[in-house]
Structure 1
Amino acid sequence: MTCFSRRGFLAAGAATLAATQFPIRAFGQAAAPLRLAATRRTLDIDGRAATVFGLAGPGGQGLVLDPGQRFRVDLDNDLPVPTIVHWHGQIPPNAQDGVPDMPQPLLAPGETRSFDFAPLAGTHWMHSHVPIQEMQLLAAPLIVRRPEDVAADRQEVVLFLHDFSFKAPEEVLAEITGGHGTAASGAMQGMGHGGMHGGAGTAGSMAMPMDMGTMGGMAMDLNDYDWDAYLANDRTLSDPEVVSVERGGRVRLRVINAAAATVFWIDTGTVEGQLVAVDGHPVRPLAGSRFGVAMGQRLDIEIDLPNEGSAWPVLALREGARERTGIVLATPGATIGIIDALAERVAPAFDTDLAQEASLVGIDALPERPVERRHMIMLGGAMRPYAWTIDGAVWGQHRPIAAKSGERVELAFHNMSMMGHPMHLHGHAFQVVGINARRFAGARRDTVYVPPMSMVTVALDAGETARWMLHCHHMPHLATGMMTEFRVEA
């Protein structure tokens, strides 16, 4: 059960649920640092054992911090390989940001490194900044609770999403970059694009209707790999996690897309929810039963359950495909039916018109001030050959994006490829201020999805003088060089 509970259950539930896999509750402001271990673990995936990585905290995978609690953590590398962990959504001192050799090296096996900073509140996560390790599930939730979270009469539930392959990540990357990850449509190959992708040998894959995966009549590139499983809290729908809830209770669902290369739609089914935060930052409540979330992004959805005994699946639907995963919210004694891992219909592509992003209004908006520096950032690439670039270059051949500390900066991400790119900036929280030619005061974020042939503009105040990573959070794109640096100078 992945939850922090309502009313008096917070105190009583800790002992009862101590064996749960994901973090249950905050552990208070301890005098000693919390211990977090990069380690190996074994999952049961559809009856087959899988050895994966993980980040084990005091109460399971991940960490939950109390309001006002510092992020004081000793990270132990219990793996047989070097690693490093990035605190996604947080703004630590640059030396603690968790990028290999920028500036700290990887942790050697058996090494411990200490971290200490004031965290940002909200739904965040942490993961290895070595792409093949993130594909091995070296990731976990990082929840920093606000005072109102403690005071509210509601239950908190974490929904942590992964895509998974039984193959080694090196083999997966070789298949993707070699053009064997999915079966390409021939429609766009003459233009250097792979076209629509159904998949190689995956039962749930099928070609999309034209209105589901096209941009102005051109086929989008979706789902460049068909994974063996799609996981919600380390489980598939053959044995989903069942979260015990109260009749008529309120649930705050904290959704984290930790997948390597899969965009999901979160479908709350017969109970409508309200989207109240993205990437840990509050937004004006947006009602609905289906919200999209790209890799690296987070959603907080509040759900008021009916005052009846029942079970309510919350499903994550793979965009452009039929595969799905999820959890079940259920009152005690409710009948829980079998949920097929394949939906009857193909889910549409995510936010091709940016309608969801355009609907978000940030509550913690940046203060208004003149923009002192603007950058146009070109996102490019193609499926054949498999190469993805920022400003026409891959990492190592990149030209840094410069700013001075304290400047108001606008970054306009212009995607000229036929794949969407979730763009993540380290060390900063920005605000979405433009979609194509339209200006508006959108959500605060750290990861923004830029669909094909679109432009999204974000504003930020340049922070600590340092080199900060800016990259696509699609792991095969990152692994093949889709990364640059936001270089802040004094």
Structure 2
Amino acid sequence: MTHRPTRRGFMAASAATAAIFAMPRRNMAQSAALTLRATTRTLDVDGRAATVFGLTDGAGSPGLTLQPGQPFRLDLKNDLAEPTIIHWHGQIPPNVQDGVPDLPMPPLQPGETRSYDYQPAAGTHWMHSHIPLQEMRQLAAPLIVLRPEDLRADRQEVVMFLHDFSFRSPEEVLAEIGSGKGHGDADGMVDGAMSAQGGGHDMAAMGAPTGDGMSMAGMQMDLNDFDFDAYLTNDRTLNDPDIQRVEKGGRILLRVINAAAATVFWIDSGELAGRLVAVDGQPIRPVPGTRFGLAMGQRLDIALDLPDGQGAWPILALREGARERTGLILATAGAEVPKISDMADQPAPAFDLDLTQEAALQAVTPLPDRAADTTPMLMLGGQMQPYRWTINDRVFADRVPVAAVSGQRVEMTFHNMSMMGHPMHLNGHHFQVVAINGTRLAGALRDTVYVPPMARVTVALDAGEAAEWMLHCHHMPHMASGMMTTLAVAA
């Protein structure tokens, strides 16, 4: 998926890629609402046809790109044969437009259209069904809201939209995961003492501590509880990758979105030195490196500078704790594009077990300093057998909402007492990471924070609109089995 640069324009690798994934850099002024459709589409996954869901604009392209200051004004039509509802991940809409089933609006029935109108938050975001089984069928797409500086920058923008895919139905996938048979090899298991620096992770170059991290001696964590049939970048595998045509010596802003249901990825830029400049759509002080990780629901903006000569540069997404990988290729016109296997020689390491990457991130514009009015603790728990995941030992149907009053400063601590990591997402708010394992810091602004096993992460936020806002793990099987609650904000 490519945004046209301010002064440079390049043809996509093929007419098909251009038709499906090219996102215009500038749109006509919107006097009428945009159109977004929840629909079905067909993918070619390694030579096999697959019917999936999708979110397409009026031209049939996936996702939306909004200009600086452009309102989020659109009509969403449900062209599916079943009810659906779409959540605008990373946005702060009025609660009635947030897109959670029956909180407060019901799903859209087949053929129904619903209108949305609010001022969007800038940055790299995405949109997806808030019905877990539908998100696992690729009912998701990028939602990019440009800043004025994006238009001024002399660079090409490339979106890297990641997903995991199964030919089986989500119901079958969840049943297999729940039975304990979803993951059949040892690649997804890691000794608890393994640190996040393994496998070439260059956090030392990022200026972050490089100690052994937390120890879970004698215990094992499960990194992956299901082996998917394929891992996709922009709907493609590495057997037929998305090839982005770039200019010699050009500058790239790579917008990475992890839309996977249950897969953490490392983004490896290989020969290209990168600078992480934003997370979850929020600018951070640049962090240099060639490998950065992101959990489900998270986004990374990575600035890349290309060499002056002709060439092709793979940007790979490595599945945590396993050999599978996906990715795209940046290539100058006429360059020989290498064939890359979708299986690496060695498994990628676990992601950020000691939160070294998270600790290295600093918001460009942090929250104003103020004392916390309330400090709730959320205990994250669960196990593989029986497959049940909880917040404060409760599933969603039995939840006790986290209470706050609109305008209060809330410091919420996620304490993970399970042996899997949990990307925790709060709808309708941005928060700042302010403590890791009890150590205070002025971290990144986010909407989704990864909490590894036996870790504590504290986030600060100012409670927004008086309403009930969804708070949940973005590992879809965990969410589907109960790992959800709400932040209940009173007036």
- TM-score tier, shorter chain, comes to over 0.9
Aligned to 2:58: 58
Q: Distance in 2 between matches of 1:165 and 1:242?
A: 23
Q: Distance in 2 between matches of 1:9 and 1:271?
A: 20
Kindly indicate whether the alpha-carbon contact (under 8 Å) linking 1:315 and 1:324 is maintained by their aligned counterparts in 2.
yes
Q: Distance in 1 between matches of 2:285 and 2:195?
A: 28
Q: Distance in 1 between matches of 2:48 and 2:24?
A: 27
SS of 1:49's partner is strand
CA displacement at 1:216 relative to structure 2: 3.3
**Residue 41 to residue 356, structure 1, CA distance change in 2 (3 Å):** same
Letter in 2 for 1:450: V
Aligned to 2:194: 211
Q: Percent identity between the aligned chains?
A: 63
CA displacement at 1:212 relative to structure 2: 6.2
1:102 and 2:103 aligned? yes
Report matched runs for 1:449-464 at 5 Å. Answer: 449-464=450-465
CA displacement at 1:420 relative to structure 2: 0.1
CA displacement at 1:206 relative to structure 2: 7.0
Aligned to 1:284: 285
Letter in 1 for 2:194: D
Q: Distance in 2 between matches of 1:171 and 1:20?
A: 29
Q: Distance in 2 between matches of 1:217 and 1:263?
A: 24
SS of 1:308's partner is coil
**Residue 22 to residue 221, structure 1, CA distance change in 2 (3 Å):** farther
Report matched runs for 1:33-72 at 5 Å. Answer: 33-59=33-59, 60-72=61-73
CA displacement at 1:12 relative to structure 2: 9.5
Q: Distance in 1 between matches of 2:113 and 2:70?
A: 21
CA displacement at 1:424 relative to structure 2: 0.1
SS of 1:403's partner is strand
SS of 2:171's partner is helix
Kindly indicate whether the alpha-carbon contact (under 8 Å) linking 1:310 and 1:330 is maintained by their aligned counterparts in 2.
yes
Q: Please list the CA deviations of residues 39-58 of structure 1 after superposition, one character each: whole Å capped at 9, or x if unmatched.
A: 00000000000000000013
Report matched runs for 1:232-271 at 5 Å. Answer: 232-271=233-272
Report matched runs for 1:268-417 at 5 Å. Answer: 268-417=269-418
Q: Distance in 2 between matches of 1:104 and 1:145?
A: 28
Q: Please list the CA deviations of residues 146-182 of structure 1 after superposition, one character each: whole Å capped at 9, or x if unmatched.
A: 0000000000000000000000000000000111111
Kindly indicate whether the alpha-carbon contact (under 8 Å) linking 2:189 and 2:220 is maintained by their aligned counterparts in 1.
no
Q: Distance in 1 between matches of 2:287 and 2:218?
A: 30
Q: Distance in 1 between matches of 2:391 and 2:126?
A: 25
CA displacement at 1:396 relative to structure 2: 0.9
Aligned to 2:25: 25
Q: Distance in 2 between matches of 1:461 and 1:212?
A: 33
Kindly indicate whether the alpha-carbon contact (under 8 Å) linking 1:28 and 1:66 is maintained by their aligned counterparts in 2.
no
Report matched runs for 1:404-443 at 5 Å. Answer: 404-443=405-444
CA displacement at 1:208 relative to structure 2: 5.1
SS of 1:313's partner is strand
Q: Distance in 2 between matches of 1:113 and 1:238?
A: 39
**Residue 419 to residue 208, structure 1, CA distance change in 2 (3 Å):** closer
**Residue 18 to residue 28, structure 1, CA distance change in 2 (3 Å):** farther
**Residue 479 to residue 22, structure 1, CA distance change in 2 (3 Å):** farther
Letter in 2 for 1:303: L
1:4 and 2:30 aligned? no
CA displacement at 1:18 relative to structure 2: 5.8
Moved over 4 A (4+): 10-13, 205-210
Aligned to 2:472: 471
Report matched runs for 1:141-220 at 5 Å. Answer: 141-183=142-184, 198=186, 205=187, 211=194, 215-220=216-221
**Residue 106 to residue 211, structure 1, CA distance change in 2 (3 Å):** same
Kindly indicate whether the alpha-carbon contact (under 8 Å) linking 1:22 and 1:62 is maintained by their aligned counterparts in 2.
no
Kindly indicate whether the alpha-carbon contact (under 8 Å) linking 2:10 and 2:246 is maintained by their aligned counterparts in 1.
no
Q: Distance in 2 between matches of 1:206 and 1:471?
A: 23
Q: Distance in 2 between matches of 1:12 and 1:44?
A: 22
Kindly indicate whether the alpha-carbon contact (under 8 Å) linking 2:423 and 2:449 is maintained by their aligned counterparts in 1.
yes
TM-score by length of 1: 0.93
**Structure 1 unaligned spans of 5+:** 184-196, 199-204
**Residue 446 to residue 207, structure 1, CA distance change in 2 (3 Å):** closer
Q: Distance in 1 between matches of 2:26 and 2:400?
A: 42
**Residue 330 to residue 418, structure 1, CA distance change in 2 (3 Å):** same
Q: Distance in 2 between matches of 1:253 and 1:206?
A: 28
**Residue 317 to residue 12, structure 1, CA distance change in 2 (3 Å):** closer
Q: Distance in 2 between matches of 1:267 and 1:53?
A: 28
Q: Distance in 2 between matches of 1:374 and 1:38?
A: 39
CA displacement at 1:22 relative to structure 2: 5.0
Kindly indicate whether the alpha-carbon contact (under 8 Å) linking 1:208 and 1:346 is maintained by their aligned counterparts in 2.
no
CA displacement at 1:24 relative to structure 2: 3.4
SS of 1:441's partner is coil
CA displacement at 1:20 relative to structure 2: 3.0
CA displacement at 1:207 relative to structure 2: 6.0
Q: Distance in 2 between matches of 1:7 and 1:407?
A: 41
Aligned to 1:188: none
CA displacement at 1:392 relative to structure 2: 0.4
CA displacement at 1:3 relative to structure 2: 1.2
**Structure 2 unaligned spans of 5+:** 197-214
Letter in 1 for 2:125: H
SS of 1:175's partner is helix
Q: Distance in 2 between matches of 1:134 and 1:23?
A: 22
TM-score by length of 2: 0.93
Kindly indicate whether the alpha-carbon contact (under 8 Å) linking 1:212 and 1:320 is maintained by their aligned counterparts in 2.
no
May I ask how many residue pairs the two structures share in their alignment? 468
Q: Distance in 2 between matches of 1:418 and 1:278?
A: 25
Q: Distance in 2 between matches of 1:25 and 1:75?
A: 22
CA displacement at 1:25 relative to structure 2: 2.9
Kindly indicate whether the alpha-carbon contact (under 8 Å) linking 1:87 and 1:127 is maintained by their aligned counterparts in 2.
yes
SS of 2:464's partner is coil
SS of 2:396's partner is coil
SS of 1:374's partner is coil
Kindly indicate whether the alpha-carbon contact (under 8 Å) linking 2:189 and 2:221 is maintained by their aligned counterparts in 1.
no
Letter in 2 for 1:282: P
Q: Distance in 2 between matches of 1:143 and 1:401?
A: 30
CA displacement at 1:29 relative to structure 2: 3.0
Q: Distance in 1 between matches of 2:51 and 2:380?
A: 35
Q: Distance in 2 between matches of 1:128 and 1:181?
A: 24
CA displacement at 1:437 relative to structure 2: 1.7
